[in-house]
């Protein structure tokens, strides 16, 4: 059973829309959809919430490379084992729209995971990996994750987040295998680029439709 869900990201307005904050996006979406309040807790150096079934949700406010301290402190305080922890993070190895679940394994240079593994003294916590795509040639991964995704990439990441939220009840209930099967067997939805609308003809008065914008929110 998952008793602690950790979303990784960096605090602050300047980072909230960057790829590195994909973990934050998921936890924030879960909180909004479930009426869960994320409150700042100075003791844990994090925003903390508790779901209806008793699982803790954590957004470290100590910056990415120090993410492990809030995780260690809350997990230690509530006696939560590493195998009961789920860390949600951005993943360079997968394209936007792909999401994968696994326990343990390599951390591929992700500084948030590196600090968590050091603090918990193990890699054996669960990880929900949200694809953000590989950096283009000539761009360092560390710089790429601190940039905002394109509109189409953000839409694909949001679709993967929704897919993850759909299996969250199974994860929290301890049916991790069923959640994994759903995540790994369903193909990521293709997100069509937005089509341009034609200008209304001048001789026919018409109301222009309102433009809807989704506003969401460095290493």
The residue annotated as part of the active site, out of 20, 89, 110, 123, is 20
The tokens for 118 are: 């050091």
The tokens for 151 are: 């509109």
The verdict on whether 184 is a catalytic residue reads no
Identify the CA nearest to 70 among candidates 130, 31, 104, 78. Answer: 78
R_g of the chain, CA atoms, integer Å: 19
From start to end of the chain, where are the E strands?
Answer: 4-7, 39-41, 46-50, 56-60, 85-91, 99-103, 126-131
The tokens for 177 are: 């295998």
DSSP element (H, E) containing 165: helix 151-173
Active site residues: 20
């Amino acid at each position: 059973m998952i008793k602690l869900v950790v979303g990784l990201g960096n605090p602050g307005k300047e980072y909230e829309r960057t790829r590195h904050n994909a973990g934050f996006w998921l936890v924030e979406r879960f909180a909004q959809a479930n009426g869960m309040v994320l409150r700042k807790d100075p003791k844990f150096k994090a925003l903390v919430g508790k779901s209806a079934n008793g699982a803790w949700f954590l957004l470290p406010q100590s910056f990415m490379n120090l993410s492990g301290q809030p995780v260690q402190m809350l997990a230690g305080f509530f006696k939560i084992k590493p195998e009961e922890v789920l860390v949600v993070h951005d993943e360079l190895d997968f394209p936007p729209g792909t999401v994968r679940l696994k326990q343990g394994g390599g951390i591929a240079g992700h500084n948030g995971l590196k600090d968590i593994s050091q603090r918990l003294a193990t890699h054996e916590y669960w990880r929900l990996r949200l694809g953000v795509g590989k950096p283009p040639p000539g761009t360092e991964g560390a710089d790429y994750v601190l940039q905002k995704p394109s509109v189409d990439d953000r839409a694909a990441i949001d679709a993967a987040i929704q897919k993850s939220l759909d299996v969250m009840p199974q994860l929290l209930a301890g049916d991790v295998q069923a959640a994994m099967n759903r995540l790994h067997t369903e193909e990521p939805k293709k997100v069509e680029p937005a089509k341009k609308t034609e200008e209304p003809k001048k001789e026919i008065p018409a109301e222009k439709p309102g433009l809807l914008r989704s506003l969401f929110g460095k290493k």
